[in-house]
Amino acid sequence: MQSKLLTLALIEIFLGLTISVVIFFVSFRLLQRLFFKDISIDKEHISFAVFTSGIVLSIGLIIAEIIPSITNMIRLSLSSNNDISTSEIFQYSGLYLLIGFIMAVLINLAVFLLFSAFTKGVNEFKDIQQNNLATAILVTTILLAITLITKESISLLISALVPYPDTTNFLY
């Protein structure tokens, strides 16, 4: 049994669970407080549940692209050739999560601008508050489509920031 690999796997599971629970909780509370103060998830507000589910899935897809980079940082710090401190791991992890948050906000803004361009004069927030399921499904579908299209680029951006050790080029 490879104890180093087992340790990394357990760290990644713990990080994934912890980060996702915290981010989902904070995102749900922000969404509810900023846009839907008087709405709860129950059978009378299916549109809000559909919309919230789309946002949670979008955030989950973005987080799924960030966690492996954080694990790579930990893997690099455990290697004998690299001097990455624990504080640097937390700094890079915070940076990666901040980038993920900014990208999630940008994706959501793009969705609302695109939806507004598609449907002139329709207020999607008001429609979702009034339980318009068609609006919730369309906004959620656009959100998920844009997230699926951009998630690999977000992963590439995050991977470019991982402080891999310098390697020599033996071809020259």
**Exposed (0-12), middle (13-18) or buried (19+): which is 22, by Cβ within 10 Å?**
exposed
Q: pLDDT tens digits for 51-84?
A: 888 988 888 888 888 888 888 887 777 776 667 7
Domain residue spans in the chain? 3-160
SS3 37: coil
Closest by CA to 76, choosing from 168, 21, 8, is 8
Q: pLDDT tens digits for 9-57?
A: 787 788 778 888 888 888 777 777 776 666 666 667 788 888 888 988 8
- pTM of the full predicted structure? 0.76
151-167 burial by CB neighbour count: b if 16+ within 10 A, else e? beebbebbeeebeeeee
